[in-house]
Chain A
């Protein structure tokens, strides 16, 4: 098990699911949660490839922080189909300060475990991880 800077361990399953998303495209998104009692990051839920950005937005709770990885498909200016892997640090304004602190301090170490993230996004409310934000960051 790897160690995070704030003492947060990362469950092996997190890295495995991420590699599956990257190589085999078995998931559209993965939502990670920090389990405070066990002091580790675990996979909370995964999304099927058929699901969309709306389902992803709906799977994030309103008042708690999460980490998430989203596989975003788009068409570039030259009309090629491309896809980029986004890391979303979901930290809503309405969450508790303690929760925000824990997620913020563990984020860097956790991201390093997930090799292959192309874009990072921090969202403090739903408008900041809107589809348009994804589109503008993809280019």
Chain B
């Protein structure tokens, strides 16, 4: 039996030059955001608690709770809106095809009966308001000619809808049935976000022209502006009102968030506090999303870091939550009492997580380095990059040290460290052969004559096993002069070998292939020890041994993680279904009965395995 113990969730997916919209539920104190095809519900009181909704067929863009907290409406890039229940296993209420293109913003009316969605359509359908249960359109929304970036529903009666978009216009519609009332062209650049105050008296628009305008909630006329002194120096991407309708939080590309006091009549807003965000010092610090909920101020940076400030005490350093935005390709587990898990994604982000705690720190590789694999030993990390380089980085208590690298001349495929050798001999495989490294100096580069797919080196550095594209496994002994002598060729796999791993006691090794089969071999006799490990339905991406040599876990593109026990027949296996939406990329054992897995949904999960 397998049980989910911990999730290290992904963070909202961000895009340079655009803001993102996050929302939340003040009653349950949770926030909603989207990453890839998933919608994540995260608790602010306990940030490790996260639930995932993965039913969208296309990338999800925005999700919002209904005012009564019972339903969530989420939208995706295909123009579909799904309304589903918050409790009861996310049961689907309805699904509507609302716009012809991507939906950028979605808002409920305060009586929970209407939803307005805005985005990109073809010509006519840029904004639509419809009934939440029947999908009947309510009103005509003319007046915009380009993508409508944001929309807002007046929370109090009489109902009004305000929209803003890339055509620099802010449109005001009265109704229901909604029809065009007035249009304003006060901004000189994209109007990124529009939000009504909770008491319905005013609404604010913020724009890439660095300005914010305040309008009357009932008539839609401009009444004031956010002060330009001490104002933002970059595009303002998002705005959020405080629950008492007196203050707003804005975030901008100038890497700061500002809190403004809005005067009672709405004629002016002045800055009361500026919160700067400096994490990496680069473009990743631009703030793209914000939310003011109850007592929390949340800002999201382009690099995916969410900062949680307290509204009462804004000087207190924020709680930083981060994670991956892109799929996690590789995992490594480092020992000690509290296990450290390192995960890396192809965009060059390495995140360090602590078991039981969550996010610890992260490192973004400079210069757009793309990372393929990660291997870690003690306090050093080795990375293989798409640019033919192998990087080495020391790991300190709170962060990462300076990296240095070596160029091996070919794109590296797989990396394996001989952990018992004094200098950490490393085997890196590339398409036609392998390279032996000592630390970061190349010992030898050997052309093997066949297309290499996977490789591993034994901890004492004396034996290497290389798997080929044709499914054959070649066993080599490593001689003193760092050359390889072929000892045996094993044929069983019917597809390219994707991963080979030694058991911790070195008596066995296991291999997995692209044809969904895994095999456990006895190292001495080179005979098959466990057969018929064919329960995946697609390519096996990764394999891991438990520390006590009893179990093997395999992760596959079919989104499942299967744990086999070596002493029992393969049919008595434990399956973790749908571990990661999109496929499982890496698995690793954290201790005797806990497996960590990571996959296409940019999250890392820990499962507790109970052998039967």
Chain A residues within CB distance 8 Å of chain B: 54, 93-94, 125-127, 130-131
Do B571 and A130 have beta carbons less than 8 Å apart? yes
**Which chain B residues border A54 with CB–CB below 8 Å?**
569
Do A93 and B494 have beta carbons less than 8 Å apart? yes
**Which chain A residues border B532 with CB–CB below 8 Å?**
125-127
Chain B residues within CB distance 8 Å of chain A: 494, 532, 534-535, 569-571
CA distance A131 to B569 in the complex (A): 13
CA distance A126 to B572 in the complex (A): 13
CA distance A126 to B532 in the complex (A): 7
Report the minimum CB–CB distance from B490 to chain A (whole Å).
16
Contact with A131, one of B494, B534, B570, B571 (Cβ below 8 angstroms): B571
**Which chain A residues border B571 with CB–CB below 8 Å?**
126-127, 130-131
Give the 9 A-B residue pairs with the shortest CB-CB distance, closest first.
Answer: A127-B534, A126-B532, A127-B535, A125-B534, A130-B571, A127-B532, A131-B571, A126-B534, A93-B494
Residue of A whose beta carbon sits closest to that of B534: A127
**Which chain A residues border B535 with CB–CB below 8 Å?**
127
Residue of A whose beta carbon sits closest to that of B532: A126
Report the minimum CB–CB distance from B358 to chain A (whole Å).
36
A-B contact pairs, 6 of them (CB 8 A): A125-B534, A126-B532, A126-B571, A127-B532, A127-B535, A127-B570
Question: How many CB-defined contacts (below 8 Å) exist between A and B?
Answer: 16
CA distance A115 to B596 in the complex (A): 51
Please give 9 more A-B residue pairs, beta carbons under 8 A apart, in addition to A54-B569, A127-B535.
A93-B494, A94-B494, A125-B532, A125-B534, A126-B532, A126-B571, A127-B532, A127-B570, A127-B571
Residue of A whose beta carbon sits closest to that of B531: A126
CA distance A93 to B571 in the complex (A): 18
Report the minimum CB–CB distance from A129 to chain B (whole Å).
10
CA distance A93 to B570 in the complex (A): 18
Residue of A whose beta carbon sits closest to that of B494: A93
**Which chain B residues border A126 with CB–CB below 8 Å?**
532, 534, 570-571
Residue of A whose beta carbon sits closest to that of B575: A132
Q: Which residue of B569, B570, B571 has the most chain A CB atoms within 10 A of its CB atom?
A: B571
CA distance A99 to B506 in the complex (A): 40
**Which chain B residues border A94 with CB–CB below 8 Å?**
494
**Which chain B residues border A93 with CB–CB below 8 Å?**
494
CA distance A67 to B483 in the complex (A): 51
CA distance A63 to B570 in the complex (A): 18
CA distance A35 to B393 in the complex (A): 65
**Which chain A residues border B570 with CB–CB below 8 Å?**
126-127
Report the minimum CB–CB distance from B264 to chain A (whole Å).
66
**Which chain A residues border B534 with CB–CB below 8 Å?**
125-127
CA distance A94 to B532 in the complex (A): 12
CA distance A131 to B535 in the complex (A): 13
**Which chain B residues border A125 with CB–CB below 8 Å?**
532, 534
CA distance A22 to B58 in the complex (A): 52
Residue of B whose beta carbon sits closest to that of A132: B571
**Which chain B residues border A131 with CB–CB below 8 Å?**
571
CA distance A54 to B570 in the complex (A): 12
CA distance A130 to B571 in the complex (A): 7
**Which chain A residues border B494 with CB–CB below 8 Å?**
93-94
Report the minimum CB–CB distance from B470 to chain A (whole Å).
16
Residue of B whose beta carbon sits closest to that of A130: B571
**Which chain B residues border A127 with CB–CB below 8 Å?**
532, 534-535, 570-571
CA distance A127 to B535 in the complex (A): 6
Residue of A whose beta carbon sits closest to that of B536: A127
Report the minimum CB–CB distance from B516 to chain A (whole Å).
9
CA distance A126 to B534 in the complex (A): 8
CA distance A126 to B570 in the complex (A): 10
**Which chain B residues border A130 with CB–CB below 8 Å?**
571
Residue of B whose beta carbon sits closest to that of A93: B494
CA distance A54 to B494 in the complex (A): 25
Residue of B whose beta carbon sits closest to that of A126: B532
Report the minimum CB–CB distance from A65 to chain B (whole Å).
17
Report the minimum CB–CB distance from B347 to chain A (whole Å).
36
Report the minimum CB–CB distance from A118 to chain B (whole Å).
23
Residue of B whose beta carbon sits closest to that of A124: B534
Residue of B whose beta carbon sits closest to that of A62: B531
CA distance A125 to B534 in the complex (A): 8
CA distance A93 to B516 in the complex (A): 13
Report the minimum CB–CB distance from B440 to chain A (whole Å).
44
CA distance A56 to B483 in the complex (A): 49
Residue of B whose beta carbon sits closest to that of A131: B571
Q: Which residue of A54, A93, A126, A127 has the most chain B CB atoms within 10 A of its CB atom?
A: A127
CA distance A20 to B532 in the complex (A): 33
CA distance A131 to B570 in the complex (A): 12
Report the minimum CB–CB distance from B4 to chain A (whole Å).
22
CA distance A127 to B534 in the complex (A): 6
Report the minimum CB–CB distance from A61 to chain B (whole Å).
14
Report the minimum CB–CB distance from A128 to chain B (whole Å).
9
Residue of A whose beta carbon sits closest to that of B571: A130
CA distance A92 to B570 in the complex (A): 17
Report the minimum CB–CB distance from A70 to chain B (whole Å).
16
Residue of A whose beta carbon sits closest to that of B517: A125
CA distance A125 to B537 in the complex (A): 12
Report the minimum CB–CB distance from B562 to chain A (whole Å).
11
Report the minimum CB–CB distance from A36 to chain B (whole Å).
25
CA distance A125 to B570 in the complex (A): 12
Report the minimum CB–CB distance from A98 to chain B (whole Å).
19
Report the minimum CB–CB distance from B577 to chain A (whole Å).
13
CA distance A130 to B532 in the complex (A): 11
CA distance A126 to B517 in the complex (A): 12
CA distance A135 to B532 in the complex (A): 20
CA distance A41 to B535 in the complex (A): 31
Report the minimum CB–CB distance from B556 to chain A (whole Å).
13
Residue of A whose beta carbon sits closest to that of B533: A127
Report the minimum CB–CB distance from A37 to chain B (whole Å).
30
Residue of A whose beta carbon sits closest to that of B515: A93
CA distance A110 to B570 in the complex (A): 32
CA distance A54 to B571 in the complex (A): 10
Report the minimum CB–CB distance from B576 to chain A (whole Å).
16
CA distance A1 to B471 in the complex (A): 46
CA distance A130 to B570 in the complex (A): 10
CA distance A54 to B295 in the complex (A): 61
CA distance A74 to B526 in the complex (A): 40
Report the minimum CB–CB distance from B2 to chain A (whole Å).
16
Report the minimum CB–CB distance from A91 to chain B (whole Å).
15
CA distance A127 to B570 in the complex (A): 9
Report the minimum CB–CB distance from A77 to chain B (whole Å).
21
CA distance A7 to B494 in the complex (A): 33
